[in-house]
Chain A
Amino acid sequence: MSNHQPPCDDDAVEPIEVFPERELDLRAGADACYKCTTCETSCPVAAVDDEFPGPKFQGPEQWRLKRKEDADIDDSILSCSNCLRCDSACPSEVPLAQMHNEARGEYVDEQMNKLSREYLRNRILANYGLLAKVGSKVPRLVNFVMGLSVTRKLNEKLLGLPSEREFPAFATQTFREWWRERGGAQVESDDKRVAYFHGCYSNYNTPEVGKAMVRVFEEFGYEVLVPEQRCSGTPMFANGMLSDARRAAETNVESLAAAIDDDADIVASCTSCSLSLRKEYPELFDIDRIDDVSEHTYEALEYLRIHEDLESAVTDAEVDHPALAYHAPCHARNQGLDRQAVELFREVDGVAIEDVGDSCSGISGTYGWKAEKYEASMAMGEEMFHHMEQSDGEVGMTECPTCAMQMEHGTGYEIKHPLQVLEAAVVSE
């Protein structure tokens, strides 16, 4: 078990090179667009931001323009939140997400001033894992300082982080520290084995999610591996920092491929992490065994639903749980996982769950962490806040850590991860 490695060592801050390995040709994708505008009716940013020309422009139109006259990438690409709703919507196999990611990378690389406050701020947000690594060394101090209103004001001034937002608290013990302390896996098995991709957030901020994941899988008889890993890359794609993402991806693919050779499938508890490993990696990078990793990656609950009779396991369970207002993250939607928690938990005695609708939460990872986007972010979230407040109970549930932040920020509710509810239902004390 390779649990002795440091989790994230994103200490690389150096000039960026873009797609050095291969030139992407997205012409076929651009030609596949028949201008049906389905993508535009799905874009949460276009619905609130007058300035944003929408996904069809960001994708096929921009690509067409570029091909004709070598035009610059339009700066509106930075307003795309990478929610991927347009990508799920397009009936015509236009690879919108891939086009946006490529365009963002090219924009940041060739047109953005590397000394600007915006670039610096985006770079910091994109490399949250690095920040968290430092922060979690002295969690109490950092939590205290970041909570001060004077710090928040300063953050807004110097870094363009919205002063309205509260910085997420660091856990006093990271998931990996806990894992080491408990002596790694408690269950050994040759035929049921998973490698847990915990990502930065459940390591540094919500280790209870990681612990729930381990306990649930062990309850079903799985041996859990916790391989070396870095950030999944999602915040890097969303900020056009593609070479940062590539470096992280190289580490992850190598270490996860080794776990596959050890007969493990990969499971993630964050839907942006699973999406990144499954879809964005093979779309953007050409790394040895990247497809292998993609094919073996699952979201944790999804994996159990496929391999175990989870429905029976939960129908027999009885939990005393407050009513849950569930929000499906956009990145769960893109993987077809937006309904699984609702469908599963409605079978459980004592758990009342309500889907709060199909709007985007509006935070979209780092998007809502930019002062200039804060207002749009809250406008997008409005519908979700409203539905949450209408629903019974004051506990929310979602798979995505930043959606959870937004839900909490907009309503003051406590937010759970489905794995924590599942833990309550199936793990015996």
Chain B
Amino acid sequence: MGLESDVLVIGGGLAGTTAAISAAREGADVRLVSHKKSTLRQSSGLVDALGYVPKREDGESDLGSGSGSGSGSGSERASESTLRGPVVNPYDAIEDLPEEHPYSIVGSEAVAEGFALFDELVGDAYRGGHTDSNALVPTFGGTVKPTARYPAATAAGVASDERPMFVVGFRSLSEYDAGALADGLSASGVPFPVAGAEVKFAEAFRDDAKITRFARALDDDEPIDGVPARKALTTAVEPQLAEFADSVADASDIRVGFPAFLGEDRADQIREELGDRLGAEVFEIPMGPPSLPGLRLEDLLLEQLDAAGVSFETGVRAVDRTVGTDGAVETVVVDRNGTGVPYAADAVVLATGGLIGKGLQSDRKRVTEPVFDCPVAHPADRYDWFLDDAFGDHPFARFGLATDNRLRPVDPSGDGEPEYPNLFAAGAVLGGADVAREKSASGVSLATGVVAGRGAAAVANDTTLEANR
């Protein structure tokens, strides 16, 4: 039998990658299997720790007001009724989270370790590691969002910087409205003048050309109607930028924001060249899906998996498990396009994501975890899963696995005994956090990935397994 490893990680998102690398660093021989591309491809590429926390009963004022950056309220609609923030320092705010929250379970030290590992893995591709405080970064929706780490490409755009900002949009890119974005930022009280304009670029492309098509044209500096793409882009921007320059006091210090599609392979070079041509610092504003920053992060993490010596396979789905007489998981059955292949491992990390990543599945009656059939707590009546308010505190957002303090899934209605002594869970498959509203998704994945990965390696390194009951 060839397919054996000390630790098997299921799921190739941020949580799975972190768990696999953490386990490998403990000396375990690690294999990772993932069904599909991770949700990183849809994520903004911003790596959040904790931006908002539940309002306190005691009526204490927002942690976030006057949050160092002077950027105003942050204006996230989701935060208005029951959350407060943006928080300045995520570590200080962890104590305000409910006890079933993954951060409460693993502790703030694990959160710091998760981010330390992230910083090490991504090197200078990301910024924000110099401080524990959140940065405030403009988003394409015209809001300012608290986040812990942001791509280097986005660095010149942070809201705490007071340089005038000019935002460029494209008539052919309908997802992104530069004017509305600039208005939104102004309205949220950013401490600098900001304006936006739509320019004509790559009109030769079809109306709904893919964002990857734009990126590719810039990567290759491909001629568009005879003019090299990078030159064509700056030529289109120049007149509008000149107009903006006339309206601000210090025109030598303008920064120019583009939607985040400035190249996939040669992003740094493109940003620099555009900056030189425009005589301004150029940065990217993270977009919703499709997301090149998310894609670039995914590529980076795959390289790191490889460098850590982790074997990995994508395009395969874990569908079942076999259990030994001692109650431990013995093999995980993986479906390879119709063929079921058993993978044996001493310990397993389940990092299959939430309802979006398909780690949890729901029908009209039940929410389930399909690979190990671990119980998921949720209200029996489906009508109690949601609220009427679209941005409200929906119970379903917190659905997920309950665990012991080592992140082994337990039955939430039971005695706290782990379902399997050698199964650990990490990332969005865990319950207890409303990551979208709290702005904590990546941080939860990083922190729990580190803890679950190490836990699994400890089981694998301990041949008797008894010590782990």
Which of A47, A88, A309 lies in contact with B212, CB distance below 8 A?
A47
Alpha-carbon distance A291/B358, docked complex (angstroms):
25
Taking the closest CB of chain B, its distance from the CB of A282, in whole angstroms, is 7
The answer, yes or no, to whether B323 is at the interface (CB within 8 Å) is: no
The answer to whether B37 touches A91 (Cβ under 8 A) is yes
Residue of B nearest to A332 (CB): B315
The answer to whether B337 touches A89 (Cβ under 8 A) is no
Residue of B nearest to A274 (CB): B337
The answer, yes or no, to whether A23 is at the interface (CB within 8 Å) is: no
Centre residue among B3, B289, B340 by max chain A CB count within 10 A: B289
Residue of B nearest to A282 (CB): B338
The answer to whether A335 touches B210 (Cβ under 8 A) is no
Which of B2, B220, B311, B336 lies in contact with A339, CB distance below 8 A?
B311
Taking the closest CB of chain A, its distance from the CB of B178, in whole angstroms, is 20
Number of interface residues of B (CB under 8 A): 45
Contact flag A335-B337 (CB < 8 Å), given A37-B290, A310-B2 = yes
The answer to whether A296 touches B213 (Cβ under 8 A) is no
The answer, yes or no, to whether A53 is at the interface (CB within 8 Å) is: yes
The answer, yes or no, to whether A336 is at the interface (CB within 8 Å) is: yes
Centre residue among B311, B316, B336 by max chain A CB count within 10 A: B336
Contact flag A295-B340 (CB < 8 Å), given A337-B313, A343-B311 = yes
Number of interface residues of A (CB under 8 A): 52
User: Which residues of the other chain, B, contact A302 by a CB distance below 8 angstroms?
Assistant: 336
The answer to whether B290 touches A306 (Cβ under 8 A) is no
Interface digits, A89-109 against B, CB 8 Å rule (1 contact, 0 not)? 111110000000000000000
Contact flag A334-B311 (CB < 8 Å), given A89-B37, A306-B3 = no
The answer to whether A47 touches B338 (Cβ under 8 A) is no
The answer to whether B41 touches A41 (Cβ under 8 A) is yes
The answer, yes or no, to whether B1 is at the interface (CB within 8 Å) is: yes
The answer to whether A336 touches B42 (Cβ under 8 A) is no
Q: Which of A298-349 contact B (CB under 8 A)?
A: 298, 302, 304-311, 333-340, 343
The answer, yes or no, to whether B60 is at the interface (CB within 8 Å) is: no
The answer to whether B313 touches A336 (Cβ under 8 A) is yes
Which of A90, A308, A335, A355 lies in contact with B2, CB distance below 8 A?
A308
Interface digits, A341-374 against B, CB 8 Å rule (1 contact, 0 not)? 0010000000000010010000000000000000
Residue of B nearest to A46 (CB): B210
Residue of B nearest to A37 (CB): B290
The answer to whether A43 touches B2 (Cβ under 8 A) is no
The answer to whether A41 touches B212 (Cβ under 8 A) is yes
User: Which residues of the other chain, B, contact A43 by a CB distance below 8 angstroms?
Assistant: 210, 212
User: Which residues of the other chain, B, contact A311 by a CB distance below 8 angstroms?
Assistant: 2
Interface digits, B276-306 against A, CB 8 Å rule (1 contact, 0 not)? 0000000000000111100100010000001
Contact flag A36-B210 (CB < 8 Å), given A90-B36, A295-B340, A334-B315 = no
Residue of B nearest to A355 (CB): B306
User: Which residues of the other chain, B, contact A50 by a CB distance below 8 angstroms?
Assistant: 204-206, 209, 213
Alpha-carbon distance A304/B213, docked complex (angstroms):
40
User: Which residues of the other chain, A, contact B1 by a CB distance below 8 angstroms?
Assistant: 306-307, 309
User: Which residues of the other chain, B, contact A278 by a CB distance below 8 angstroms?
Assistant: 336-339
Contact flag A339-B312 (CB < 8 Å), given A40-B210, A41-B41, A46-B210 = yes
Alpha-carbon distance A339/B205, docked complex (angstroms):
35
Q: Which of A72-96 contact B (CB under 8 A)?
A: 88-93
Residue of B nearest to A280 (CB): B337
User: Which residues of the other chain, A, contact B41 by a CB distance below 8 angstroms?
Assistant: 38, 41, 89
The answer, yes or no, to whether A177 is at the interface (CB within 8 Å) is: no
Contact flag A279-B213 (CB < 8 Å), given A307-B2, A310-B2 = no
The answer to whether A91 touches B213 (Cβ under 8 A) is no
The answer, yes or no, to whether A54 is at the interface (CB within 8 Å) is: yes
Centre residue among B205, B220, B337, B356 by max chain A CB count within 10 A: B337
Which of A92, A93, A307, A338 lies in contact with B315, CB distance below 8 A?
A338
User: Which residues of the other chain, B, contact A205 by a CB distance below 8 angstroms?
Assistant: none
The answer, yes or no, to whether A48 is at the interface (CB within 8 Å) is: yes
The answer, yes or no, to whether B265 is at the interface (CB within 8 Å) is: yes
The answer, yes or no, to whether B63 is at the interface (CB within 8 Å) is: no
The answer, yes or no, to whether B314 is at the interface (CB within 8 Å) is: yes
User: Which residues of the other chain, A, contact B112 by a CB distance below 8 angstroms?
Assistant: none
Interface digits, B214-227 against A, CB 8 Å rule (1 contact, 0 not)? 01100010000000
Interface residues, chain B, with chain A CB atoms under 8 Å away: 1-3, 33, 36-37, 39, 41-42, 204-206, 208-213, 215-216, 220, 265, 289-292, 295, 299, 306, 311-316, 334, 336-341, 356-358
Query: Which 3 A-B pairs rank lowest in CB-CB distance, beginning with the nearest?
Result: A336-B316, A294-B338, A336-B315
Please, could you name 23 A-B residue pairs with CB atoms under 8 Å apart, sorted by A?
A38-B36, A42-B37, A43-B212, A47-B216, A48-B213, A88-B37, A89-B37, A90-B36, A91-B39, A91-B356, A91-B358, A92-B358, A278-B336, A278-B339, A295-B338, A296-B339, A298-B339, A305-B3, A306-B1, A310-B2, A334-B337, A335-B336, A339-B313
